[in-house]
């Protein structure tokens, strides 16, 4: 993945459409010493599992990483998660207002040319429906 030689870091080819914040996250990860990269990645593998045992959580805590060595990486993650949270809140507000306050059908607010946004709007709509917050009569 990342190659380090004589004070230089060589990143792998990166897709041009990759968001700059993600490139920054990769860069910060590349700057972490190799042993700390591996420990951080092992922690991530364990803690990102939806179903994990207490023993696995305890195992993740074994991988100690000096916070100062990964400070830039952690800050990059905080920035990305904050942005994702703001986007999710905005999307949720938009779907709620359009569909459940103004009474529009979900099909009326879907974009014609952006399948990813269409999927996101449907997903948010279904979350409201699953939560009992919406009127199921709006689907017809």
Q: Cα(60)–Cα(45) distance, rounded to whole angstroms? A: 9
For 117-140, give one letter per residue: b (16+ CB within 10 A) or e: ebebbeebbeebbeeeebeeebee
- % helix, strand, coil for the chain, step of 5: 65, 5, 30
Please tell me whether residue 125 adopts helix, strand or coil conformation: helix
Sign of CA pseudo-dihedral 127, 129, 132, 134: positive
The ranges assigned to domains in the chain are 3-32+70-139
Q: Reply yes or no on whether the pLDDT at 136 is more than 50.
A: no
Q: Say whether pLDDT at 139 is over 50.
A: no
**Tell me: the pLDDT tens digits for 104-113?**
999 999 998 9
What is the rounded average pLDDT of the residues 22-45?
87
Q: Tell me the pTM.
A: 0.65
Mean pLDDT of 109-129: 92
Which pLDDT tens digit goes with each residue over 45-69? 887 877 888 888 777 776 677 888 8
């Amino acid at each position: 993945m990342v190659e380090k030689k004589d004070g230089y870091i060589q990143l792998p080819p990166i897709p041009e459409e990759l968001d700059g914040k993600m490139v920054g996250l990769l860069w910060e990860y590349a700057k972490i010493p190799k042993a700390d990269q591996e420990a951080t990645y092992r922690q991530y593998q364990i803690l990102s599992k939806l179903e994990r045992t207490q023993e696995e959580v305890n195992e993740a805590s074994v991988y100690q990483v000096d916070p100062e060595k990964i400070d830039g990486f952690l800050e990059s993650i905080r920035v990305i998660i904050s942005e994702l949270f703001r986007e999710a809140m905005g999307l949720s507000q938009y779907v709620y207002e359009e569909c459940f306050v103004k009474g529009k059908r979900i099909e009326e607010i879907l974009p014609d040319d952006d399948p990813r946004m269409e999927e996101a709007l449907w997903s948010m709509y279904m979350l409201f429906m699953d939560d009992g917050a919406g009127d199921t009569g709006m689907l017809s």
